[in-house]
């Protein structure tokens, strides 16, 4: 349908990039990127109206997102028709604008396009030997200045290499070294580095990519204080296992997976390092706080746990309840002691769900004078409940009184 509508408006239309790459790799990908040779925004408006969908447009970039009622999204970009007038009264020549659009992309494997308009529906367009590189499992840039033009591509090269089990091509590897040598990362905005680094940490198994980042000397871009110490690989592998355990046990609790790997990388670093990292990557306040402050609360709980496991549930609860799930999983990842992992797992599966049946207003009906004492009474009552001393609401009321 997209093809017919675009064609009817006189535009060429292609599905491009990751979707086509993953189609050839037989991997699932729901991100559809469309390129219109013509006016992408006009097309998107007409198509959305026809389909009863909404759109967001970004006029400056000539892009739109079509959002269908079921939440499905399609990105639409514009490859403008470009005309080059020839001298000596020859007619103007239309260059293939899709080719120019694809030439601006990062790697050959992302330059494949499939034509959608009825004339050549389904034809694979491959200007830069992307198909060959997929077959030969190679990540290759399109031109030698690619990493100078956009240094974030270095991180993307590593992400794709590890995700697909490909190898970064020889020249491309040389160009990465060259980019590092030229220090092209110095000027790179922190937010862009963060975005790519986070994407790597969100990969199904980010550990090999993290090690590749160390090998290439790229971790220094984030901070030279983040080092590949002796225990790091074990800890990262442990983080992976803990995440798999969490996925299995708590399918409906969404967590930020990258945070656990990032905390593990920062584990031996002092606060000063994490402050610099947070500034460099321009982290939003929530994540800055997590990396600079809250991870030390988690560390405190970890040290407390290494001093011997608590006899009482209430003690364990008091230590762990201020920590977000990501921090609990991080403590599990860095602790070698199975008993500590078990204690955290006990807290997560049982203790954190225990709450009181009584509230502040129940204390009032007991004749207790409202005031700051209320929170202490409720905390003491919860502690007694956690330690199995209170069976029901009447017990709670009696204890509070
Ligand atoms: P992922 O599967 O991780 O989402 P992707 O390549 O499918 O990766 P995006 O990262 O959203 O999806 O990128 C979409 C397309 O945009 C890519 O296929 C690539 O062609 C292009 N692209 C993205 N980032 C860059 C970049 N920094 N430089 C050049 N082209 C890029």
Nearest CA to ligand 1 atom 7: 18
Structure tokens at 179: 């980019």
- pLDDT attached to residue 363: 85
Atom of ligand 1 nearest to the CA of 199: 3
- pLDDT attached to residue 128: 96
What stretches in the chain show pLDDT beneath 70? 80-96
Nearest CA to ligand 1 atom 26: 106
- pLDDT attached to residue 200: 97
- pLDDT attached to residue 82: 55
What are the pLDDT digits (tens) for 128-174? 999 999 999 999 999 999 999 999 999 999 999 999 999 999 999 99
ipTM of the complex: 0.97
- pLDDT attached to residue 85: 55
Query: Is residue 294 within 6 Å of ligand 1 at its C-beta?
Result: no
Query: Is residue 220 within 6 Å of ligand 1 at its C-beta?
Result: no
- CA gap 401, 395 in Å, rounded: 10
Between the CA of 107 and the centroid of ligand 1 the distance, in Å, is 9
Q: List the Cα angle 29/147/213 in 5-degree steps.
A: 70
Q: What ranges in 206-231 are assigned the alpha helix state H?
A: 207-215, 219-222
| CB distance 303 to 338 below 8 Å | no
Structure tokens at 104: 């601006």
- CA gap 238, 330 in Å, rounded: 9
Answer positive or negative: Cα dihedral of 272, 277, 282, 285: negative
| CB distance 155 to 197 below 8 Å | yes
Atom of ligand 1 nearest to the CA of 111: 20
Instruction: Please tell me whether residue 214 adopts helix, strand or coil conformation.
Output: helix
- CA gap 112, 125 in Å, rounded: 6
Q: Which residues contact 81 (CB under 8 A, 6 or more apart)?
A: 37, 38, 94, 97
C-alpha distance from residue 154 to each of 21, 138, 236, 244, 344 (Å): 19, 14, 22, 28, 38
- pLDDT attached to residue 278: 96
- pLDDT attached to residue 83: 55
- pLDDT attached to residue 84: 53
Query: Is residue 198 within 6 Å of ligand 1 at its C-beta?
Result: no
What are the pLDDT digits (tens) for 264-279? 999 999 999 999 999 9
Identify which of 53, 109, 94 has the alpha carbon closest to the alpha carbon of residue 76: 53
284 dihedral zone (left: phi>0; alpha: psi -120 to 50; beta): beta
Atom of ligand 1 nearest to the CA of 150: 27
Query: Is residue 264 within 6 Å of ligand 1 at its C-beta?
Result: no
Q: Which residues contact 76 (CB under 8 A, 6 or more apart)?
A: 34, 35, 36, 40, 41, 43, 44, 63, 64, 65, 66
Instruction: Please tell me whether residue 141 adopts helix, strand or coil conformation.
Output: strand
Query: Is residue 105 within 6 Å of ligand 1 at its C-beta?
Result: yes
Query: Is residue 130 within 6 Å of ligand 1 at its C-beta?
Result: no
Identify which of 49, 100, 56 has the alpha carbon closest to the alpha carbon of residue 76: 56
Between the CA of 17 and the centroid of ligand 1 the distance, in Å, is 7
- CA gap 13, 78 in Å, rounded: 10
Query: Is residue 108 within 6 Å of ligand 1 at its C-beta?
Result: no
Please state, as a whole number, how many other Cβ atoms lie within 10 Å of the Cβ of residue 288.
17
- pLDDT attached to residue 91: 47
Instruction: Please tell me whether residue 274 adopts helix, strand or coil conformation.
Output: helix
- CA gap 186, 159 in Å, rounded: 21
- CA gap 38, 81 in Å, rounded: 6
Burial of 199 (0-12, 13-18, 19+ CB in 10 A): middle
| CB distance 140 to 108 below 8 Å | yes
Query: Is residue 106 within 6 Å of ligand 1 at its C-beta?
Result: yes
Among 34, 105, 201, residue to substitute to test ligand 1 (most atoms within 8 Å of Cβ): 105
Mind giving me the DSSP string for 16-51?
ETHHHHHHHTT-----EEEEEES-HHHHHHHHHHHH
Nearest CA to ligand 1 atom 8: 18
Among 14, 17, 99, residue to substitute to test ligand 1 (most atoms within 8 Å of Cβ): 17
């Amino acid at each position: 349908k997209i093809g017919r509508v675009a064609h009817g408006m006189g535009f060429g239309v292609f599905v491009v990039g990751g979707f086509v790459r993953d189609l050839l790799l037989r991997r699932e990908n729901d991100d559809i990127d469309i390129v219109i040779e013509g006016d992408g925004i006009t097309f998107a408006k007409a198509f959305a109206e026809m389909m009863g969908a909404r759109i967001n447009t970004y006029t400056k970039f000539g892009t739109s997102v079509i959002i269908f009622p079921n939440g499905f999204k399609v990105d639409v970009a514009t490859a403008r028709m470009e005309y080059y007038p020839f001298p000596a009264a020859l007619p103007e020549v239309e260059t293939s604008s899709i080719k120019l659009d694809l030439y601006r992309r990062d790697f050959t494997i992302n330059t494949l396009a499939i034509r959608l308009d009825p004339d050549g529906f389904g034809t694979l367009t491959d200007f830069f030997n992307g198909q060959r590189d997929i077959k030969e499992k190679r990540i290759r840039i399109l031109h030698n200045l690619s990493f100078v033009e956009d240094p974030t591509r270095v991180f993307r090269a590593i992400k794709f290499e590890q995700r697909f089990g490909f190898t970064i091509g020889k020249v491309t590897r040389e160009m990465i070294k060259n980019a590092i040598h030229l220090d092209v990362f110095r000027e790179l905005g922190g937010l862009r580095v963060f975005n790519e680094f986070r994407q790597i940490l969100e990969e199904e198994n980010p550990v090999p990519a993290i090690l590749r980042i160390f090998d290439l000397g790229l971790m220094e871009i984030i901070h030279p204080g983040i080092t590949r110490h002796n225990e790091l690989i074990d800890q990262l592998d442990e983080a992976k296992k803990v995440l798999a355990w969490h996925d299995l046990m708590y399918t409906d609790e969404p967590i930020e997976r990258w945070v656990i790997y990032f905390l593990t990388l920062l584990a031996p670093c002092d606060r000063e390092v994490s402050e610099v990292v947070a500034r460099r990557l321009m982290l939003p306040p929530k994540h800055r706080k997590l990396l600079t402050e809250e991870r030390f609360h988690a560390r405190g709980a970890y040290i407390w746990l290494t001093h011997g496991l608590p006899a009482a549930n209430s003690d364990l609860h008091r230590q762990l309840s201020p920590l977000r799930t990501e921090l609990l999983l991080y403590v599990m990842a860095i602790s070698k002691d199975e008993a500590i992992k078990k204690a955290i797992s006990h807290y997560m599966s049982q203790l954190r769900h225990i709450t009181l049946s009584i509230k502040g207003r129940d204390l009032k009906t007991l004749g207790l004078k409202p005031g700051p004492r209320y929170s202490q009474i409720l905390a003491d009552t919860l502690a007694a409940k956690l330690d199995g001393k209170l069976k029901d609401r009447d017990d709670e009321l009696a204890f509070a009184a």
